Amino acid sequence: MSSDRLCGLLRSALSFIQARYRLRFTSREQLEGWQARRLRYFLRHVVPRAERFRQSQATRLADLPIMDKTTLMADFAGFNTLGLSLDNVLALARQAEASRDFSTTLNGVTVGLSSGTSGNQGVFLVSPAERQRWAGILLARALPSRLLGRLLCPWRAPLRIAFFLRANSRLYETLASRRIDFAYYDLTLGLQASLARLAAQRPDVLVAPATVLRGLAEAALAGRLAIAPSHILSVAEVLEADDARRVHQAFGVAPRQLYQASEGFLGYTCERGTLHLNEAHLHIEPDWLDPERTRFQPIITDFSRHTQLIVRYRLNDVLRIAASPCACGRAERAIAAVEGRMDDILWLVDRDGPRLRALYPDVVRRALLLQGDALQEYSIEQRGLRWHVGVQGAGDHMALCQGLTAAIYQLCDQHGLCPPELSFGQWQAPPPQAKRRRLKVLERPQGLPCTY
Ligand SMILES: [Zn+2]
């Protein structure tokens, strides 16, 4: 084994041990104390290394401006400590995407593309050391104890992980080792193309977007796929209750969530099944959307990353906070759901006044799911005050559309909103590598103030 590789392995192992056994906070004060110490170092020694913050004298996070994907992409070289320009980096990322060969790096630095719509894609850099640390933290947070034993016993078979994603990355390949048989399945090839290989691999751990897990569950229930994973992780898409139920039914295991984005490793499910924010490694400020403080947009600062600076970075996601703390005792915030993205929030006119009010994705999903099995797939696109609903159903199309109209009218009534103008059509399946997004605002109604 080369010394580089040994070093990398040790770094992963140390991060693993630290994340699993040392950074387990049961009191919020302890957790915040740890974050404050890490942030102090980060602000003093790391942040000023990027051009954008060279003059910064900030000693508190709140002194720094909030950034987002647009800010980052507009001044890419300014936000990384290597001064790499967007042109250099994009050329490499696009080439990898086109050739489906994701192993190339820029002097060891991995370039990742976020899965935004084209034109709105983000680019993120990860150094080899960060990659190795990330692998350790991810395994520590995502694997249950019974599988850890497998990982650490050299005389047992390696742990088999199947990973379905739209794009592979050196980041994920870091997980492969003598103890982990890591197989990447390319989503652009479609699900059918992967079934035979998946059956031959017989994965212990299955990691995939929610729609892919659902597809695999249906294949298993129909007798076209015989695998028995003992741990299932949903990534990259909203995990709907219905998907979770089918996956459980097919494999006898409830899927857990891994909230991982190019921006960072944001959250994980604990042994009690609750999604926690990864606050031992990230500072997360909630930007509350509603006065009741139930939903927020996270503003993240990753104090463990030293190459790509993620400093008060506003994510486009909407998170709903859990109503009560988790019984596992962890101090990291418990999340009831990652509801979707900010532009999944639909807007309608308030019955009592000239203003727009938010209809959150979860609320809309729950109302439509009352249609039961008659509704197999749907999508809603909002343009102004018009909603176009794409529908795929089991029975009579007309009856289903009438049922949906009644459900939407009832939902509006409950929330004191004027119903939208509705039109219906056939549901169109997105391409296999695209994320499922059921709700989409293409054009917000104009001329009225918005209230969350
Ligand atoms: Zn918990």
Distance 140 CA to ligand 1 centre (A): 15
225 and 164 Cβ atoms separated by less than 8 Å: no
Distance 28 CA to ligand 1 centre (A): 14
Closest CA to 293 of 236, 336, 239: 336
Residue 286 neighbours by CB distance under 10 Å: 15
Angle between helices 3-17 and 128-142 (to 10 degrees): 40
**CATH number, domain 345-451:** 3.30.70.2210
Distance 268 CA to ligand 1 centre (A): 9
How do the domains of the chain map onto residue ranges? 3-337, 345-451
Closest CA to 230 of 145, 129, 290, 321: 145
Burial of 308 (0-12, 13-18, 19+ CB in 10 A): buried
Distance 4 CA to ligand 1 centre (A): 36
Closest CA to 403 of 368, 439, 428: 368
What SS3 class is residue 78? Answer: helix
Distance 239 CA to ligand 1 centre (A): 18
Distance 32 CA to ligand 1 centre (A): 18
Which residues line ion ligand 1, judged by CB < 5 Å? 270, 272, 274, 326, 328, 330
Distance 332 CA to ligand 1 centre (A): 8
What's the whole-model pTM score? 0.88
Phi, psi of 59 (to 5 degrees): -110, -15
Residue 9 neighbours by CB distance under 10 Å: 17
Distance 213 CA to ligand 1 centre (A): 23
Q: pLDDT 10s per residue in the chain (452 long)?
A: 677 777 888 888 888 888 888 888 999 999 999 999 999 999 999 999 999 999 888 889 999 999 999 999 999 999 999 999 999 888 888 888 788 777 778 888 888 877 655 456 788 899 988 988 888 888 888 888 888 888 878 888 899 999 988 776 777 777 777 788 888 898 888 888 899 999 999 999 999 999 999 999 999 999 999 999 999 999 988 898 889 999 999 999 999 999 988 888 999 999 999 999 999 999 999 999 999 999 999 999 999 999 999 999 999 999 999 999 999 999 999 999 999 889 899 999 999 988 999 999 989 998 998 888 889 999 999 999 999 999 999 889 999 999 999 999 999 999 999 999 999 999 998 887 788 889 999 999 988 888 88
Distance 274 CA to ligand 1 centre (A): 5
Number of H helices, E strands in the chain: 12, 21
| CATH fourth-level superfamily of 3-337 | ANL, N-terminal domain (3.40.50.12780)
Distance 272 CA to ligand 1 centre (A): 5
Amino acid, single-letter form, for residue 386: R
Distance 307 CA to ligand 1 centre (A): 31
Distance 258 CA to ligand 1 centre (A): 13
Distance 321 CA to ligand 1 centre (A): 13
58 and 43 Cβ atoms separated by less than 8 Å: yes
427 and 391 Cβ atoms separated by less than 8 Å: yes
346 and 411 Cβ atoms separated by less than 8 Å: no
Q: Helix, strand, coil % (nearest 5) of the chain?
A: 35, 25, 35
Distance 266 CA to ligand 1 centre (A): 15
Tell me, what's the pLDDT at 12? Answer: 83
405 and 422 Cβ atoms separated by less than 8 Å: yes
Say if strands 346-349 and 375-383 run parallel, antiparallel, or are unpaired: unpaired
Tell me, what's the pLDDT at 175? Answer: 76
Closest CA to 208 of 257, 266, 158: 257
What SS3 class is residue 248? Answer: helix
Distance 143 CA to ligand 1 centre (A): 14
Distance 36 CA to ligand 1 centre (A): 23
Distance CA 50, CA 308 (A): 9
Distance 326 CA to ligand 1 centre (A): 5
Distance 37 CA to ligand 1 centre (A): 24
